[in-house]
Structure 1
């Protein structure tokens, strides 16, 4: 979700305002993900400290461990944004998938301390080794914990994730580990006898979004393509693409248990509610366009969160804010009022 450069500069955060275009990294893996080759341009990693930073407890990090299916777990972040202590309280959700011989870790949070907590949690669940780490997109709250993983564990990402992370995330952590397996099409990985299906989706983060589906338990790790009762970060978004991705997920996984990037575990109805939020933004934008309002007028007149969404968290994302985030209203104005395309309102 949330790569917020200006905010992290003040509170260990940074705003990402670039809306990326899908592109492919020069190192792309077409074969099954069992024999990754190190990227030759990968900078030499800094030597790991001799003493691992102590991990907070799950409760102290604002996390709840929930079994989503046999051997499949979500670490669910309950905090609002911004958290009271970004160094110790997780912002996004993470995942652990245990197979018959190995483990997949999904989105190891925003820093090495919380990444260590993720790896320690794996050890409480199984003695099987971590085989892969998956970054569902490049935003720092999902990738900053990469550095807590062993150099021998491949990290999977998509599209221009390495370029984005090299230019942005490494400003926050010079020792940040980059993905070394890049997938740009549907791919399967195997954890012994357990299959994990990776699928590219569009709309949230500049062509770096991936989701993971575990067929045998019907669990979908949706990354930041889905927010549940949270206002989304939209600074890198293409709303039309995002709407399209949600429609496809709803149609493809109608009965799945869904772990969003932010918020509680949900399902088809939760994805439909999130889709409806974009439709509401589009309706507003058509009103603005009909009234020929300027962006400044919109941000003043419509700054209050609608009653329908008054209980949502991450309200800082909705309208004008002191953190200089590109608000949902601002992005909707820029993308909908200037669009000549046919509205997608249901």
Structure 2
């Protein structure tokens, strides 16, 4: 599995910088057609965006973190079509995916019912948390107005958006990266947009995850039979074999992480000791994946909670983030 970005590393004996606060390097953007009129906006492991050009309008899947960041997507779209962007779809509630939505001037902003509930419950906390963790992804944070992004339309299980005669089918296939994840399926191109349910050469972020459910959700996604896929992070998956590889890698990471955490939790080890042991176990196989060092403390913390019976993820705040980092990496 390729890795096109260089993860930040601490020197021997040096404490790692908080999350991705030290990751300041710009990434090379790619905008590739992976099906007829279906594009993948990718940036070497930064958050991806999917684009569908229909008969009369455009749909964007995942909006980027700020309106200024969204303008980089709009610039690419305008190189291939002058059709208006009528729909923005949010795969889940995380700030890095949603706060750029106002830049598109869309008629509809769409997410699942559960994702909207999570914006209500924890959107403000998540916004502050994510900006602190990864400031480079929030270029132009002062352009985020009036604040949180709110959907104009939600659905519970499945909904179709018609771009003229072209269908984009939105589906909630189960809990995984969050409780509110959705995917997009473009039937006439056999292409899916997976959001952060699938990553490719990038570490899944699991701070709001449901580890027990995620594998079945991946099975449901695989059943679509995608000929190509836009994952949440990493290169576009341009063949069925690459799609299978992306799903397999994501599944392996989740399984290896959760099994290691469960073993340590069952042995009565503290969160700190569990993290240290899991880090040592996973680093040989996954240490070169994008944002591995960033994600793992959050991932182990959530997995430890779920292993100890907490189904509903605790809310991450900027204060909780930094205290956890001190506790596990200090």
Bigger helix share: 2
The TM-score normalised by the length of structure 1 is 0.70
Tell me how far apart the structure 2 counterparts of residues 155 and 259 of structure 1 sit (CA, whole Å). Answer: 19
Verify the 8 A CA contact 1:108 1:146 in the aligned structure 2: yes
Cross-structure match for 1:279: 255
Change (3 A) 1:318 1:131: closer
Verify the 8 A CA contact 2:85 2:104 in the aligned structure 1: no
Change (3 A) 1:92 1:301: same
Cross-structure match for 1:29: none
Question: Does 2:253 correspond to 1:261?
Answer: no
Cross-structure match for 1:236: 208
Question: Does 2:76 correspond to 1:121?
Answer: yes
C-alpha distance after superposition, 1:242-292 (max 9, x if no partner): 122012212x12343121111112302210221122221233134324533
C-alpha distance after superposition, 1:110-167 (max 9, x if no partner): 11111122222222111211121111111111112112122x5211111143454354
Cross-structure match for 1:45: none
Verify the 8 A CA contact 1:146 1:178 in the aligned structure 2: no
Cross-structure match for 1:293: 269
Cross-structure match for 1:314: 291
Across the aligned residues of Structure 1 and Structure 2, the Cα RMSD in angstroms comes to: 2.8
Cross-structure match for 1:245: 217
* Aligned 1:5-16 pairs, distance under 5 A: none
Cross-structure match for 1:154: 108
Verify the 8 A CA contact 1:203 1:243 in the aligned structure 2: no
Change (3 A) 1:178 1:205: farther
Verify the 8 A CA contact 2:95 2:127 in the aligned structure 1: no
* Greater Cα offset, 172-181 or 125-134: 172-181
Change (3 A) 1:186 1:338: closer
Change (3 A) 1:138 1:62: farther
Alpha-carbon shift at residue 7 of structure 1 (Å): 6.3
Tell me how far apart the structure 1 counterparts of residues 178 and 278 of structure 2 sit (CA, whole Å). Answer: 27
Cross-structure match for 1:227: 199
Alpha-carbon shift at residue 317 of structure 1 (Å): 3.7
C-alpha distance after superposition, 1:67-94 (max 9, x if no partner): 1111100001214xxxxxxxxxxx3100
Tell me how far apart the structure 2 counterparts of residues 201 and 106 of structure 1 sit (CA, whole Å). Answer: 16
Alpha-carbon shift at residue 64 of structure 1 (Å): 0.7
Question: Does 2:186 correspond to 1:214?
Answer: yes
Verify the 8 A CA contact 2:207 2:301 in the aligned structure 1: no
Tell me how far apart the structure 1 counterparts of residues 28 and 306 of structure 2 sit (CA, whole Å). Answer: 34
Cross-structure match for 1:330: 301
* Aligned 1:153-232 pairs, distance under 5 A: 153-165=107-119, 167-168=123-124, 173-176=144-147, 177-204=149-176, 206-232=178-204
Change (3 A) 1:290 1:107: closer
Verify the 8 A CA contact 1:71 1:99 in the aligned structure 2: yes
Question: Does 2:36 correspond to 1:74?
Answer: no
Tell me how far apart the structure 2 counterparts of residues 112 and 61 of structure 1 sit (CA, whole Å). Answer: 18
The TM-score normalised by the length of structure 2 is 0.73
Question: Does 2:107 correspond to 1:136?
Answer: no
Verify the 8 A CA contact 2:69 2:100 in the aligned structure 1: yes
Uncovered stretches (5+) of structure 2, i.e. residues with no partner: 1-17, 129-140, 238-242, 311-330
Tell me how far apart the structure 2 counterparts of residues 229 and 108 of structure 1 sit (CA, whole Å). Answer: 21
Tell me how far apart the structure 1 counterparts of residues 161 and 276 of structure 2 sit (CA, whole Å). Answer: 49
Tell me how far apart the structure 2 counterparts of residues 279 and 292 of structure 1 sit (CA, whole Å). Answer: 20
Tell me how far apart the structure 2 counterparts of residues 199 and 336 of structure 1 sit (CA, whole Å). Answer: 28
